[in-house]
Amino acid sequence: MASSARRRKIAILGSRSVGKSSLVKQFIENQFIDSYYPTIEVAYVKSIVYKGNEYVLEIFDTAGQDEYTPINSQHAIGIHGYVLVYSIASKISFEMIQIIHEKIIDFSGLTDIPCVIVGSKSDLESSRQVNASEVQQLAQTLKAGWIEASAKNDVNVGEGDFLVSPAAPTSHSPLPLAFWLAKAFQLCVQEIEKRLNPSNQQEVKTGRCIMM
Ligand SMILES: Nc1nc2c(ncn2[C@@H]2O[C@H](COP(=O)(O)OP(=O)(O)OP(=O)(O)O)[C@@H](O)[C@H]2O)c(=O)[nH]1
């Protein structure tokens, strides 16, 4: 690992059984386990390359929360960003996102928390209880990124990519466009970097689109 790698600590929070551990396992170990084992607290480390820079992510998978679960210091001190997870098949788990966000704000005393809201179990479309529009609205209010993902089908969990637009260059746009397609954990890094290194995030402010 290059000594210039940036270390970022990420905590994953959300209601019980929404798929937090499954998202982490899919991201770190490329596997999905159907059985349910409640998490106590597990930490993982993974290196990724994000927009040409190396990052060492320390990811803290936490026990499921309810409205009475307090935020403890491990969830807040030294944490750079949060992945807040609900299940698209559970409205109650979605409502917990705002409650957890408020608890982090109260605990940390910060007003702006780098976080991404992840709608897990996106393969359960027929049981959907949360629409994209309501998540979008909440994400706007919390200044958060958001994405839907499925640990089961490995959708939006692995590493992000650049996608070069197939559109032929035109006189208005003489160069091909490249879009950064970030996935759940890269979106969290993106939210962190927006706050820590705002000068490097020009492309984020312009709709995640850069000219190549
Ligand atoms: N269909 C489907 N099921 C999933 C998905 N992700 C997780 N599950 C299932 O949901 C259950 C709970 O998953 P976990 O990853 O243990 O959930 P958790 O949020 O870590 O649970 P706690 O440790 O209690 O907080 C398990 O039975 C998983 O197999 C998914 O993407 N699709």
- What are the chain's domains? 6-196 (3.40.50.300)
Q: What is the pLDDT of residues 117-138, one digit of tens each?
A: 999 999 999 999 999 999 999 9
**Residue 36: which region, alpha, beta or left (left: phi > 0; alpha: psi -120 to 50)?**
beta
The dihedral over CA atoms of 145, 85, 130, 36, expressed in degrees to the nearest 10, equals 150
What is the rounded distance in angstroms from the CA atom of residue 122 to the CA atom of residue 81? 23
Closest-CA residue, ligand 1 atom 30, reads 121
Which residue has the CA at smallest separation from atom 14 of ligand 1? 19
Interface predicted TM-score of the whole assembly (ipTM), two decimals:
0.99
Binding-site residues, ligand 1, Cβ < 6 A:
14, 16-22, 34, 36, 38-39, 63-64, 120-121, 123-124, 150-152
pLDDT value, residue 174: 53
Q: Average pLDDT of the chain?
A: 85
**Side-chain half-sphere CA neighbours of 145 within 13 A:** 28
**In whole angstroms, how large is the CA radius of gyration of the chain?**
17
Indicate which atom in ligand 1 lies nearest the CA of residue 65: 25
- Give the per-residue pLDDT at 177: 54
pLDDT at position 207, please? 34
Give the residue from 155, 191, 144 showing the smallest Cα distance to 50. 191
Q: Rounded to an integer, what distance in angstroms lies between the CA atom of residue 138 and that of residue 143?
A: 8
User: Residue 78 C-alpha to ligand 1 middle, in angstroms?
Assistant: 27
Banded pLDDT at 208 (limits 50, 70, 90): very low
Q: What percent of the chain has pLDDT over 70?
A: 81
Give the residue, 39 or 81, on which the prediction is more confident: 81
Taking 50 as the threshold, does the pLDDT of residue 210 lie above it?
no
| Main-chain dihedrals φ then ψ at residue 175, nearest 5 degrees | -115, 150
